[in-house]
Amino acid sequence: MIADLAEAKAYLRVDGNEEDALIDELLRAAQRLCEDIARLDETQFDNAGGTAKAAVLYTLAYLYEHREEADHHALVLTLRNLLMGIREEGF
């Protein structure tokens, strides 16, 4: 994982432990989504640097803040733009 639970909670400004399981699950989903959009495996993605980490934390925050009404299409479009520099070419 490019970010751990402590980094995720600091980014989200969450102090307590009540939502640790939710945040950890969202963090894993955020990383997987970013890996898929970048077309990189976990090792490649984890070595991709600050752009990859920023994209994961952005995605985490989006999923956390918009749990009820997330616009996943808009999120994917934003991530494609954020990850364009590290994205592997398709087919």
Tokens 């980094």 map to which residue? 7
Q: Which of 48, 52, 43 is nearest to 83 (CA)?
A: 52
* CB contact at 8 A, 81 and 47: no
pLDDT digits over 32-49, tens only? 999 999 999 999 999 998
pLDDT digits over 76-91, tens only? 999 999 999 998 886 5
Q: What mean pLDDT is predicted for residues 61-76? A: 92
pLDDT for position 91: 52
pTM of this structure:
0.90
Backbone angles phi, psi at 25, to 5 degrees: -65, -45
DSSP code, position 48: S
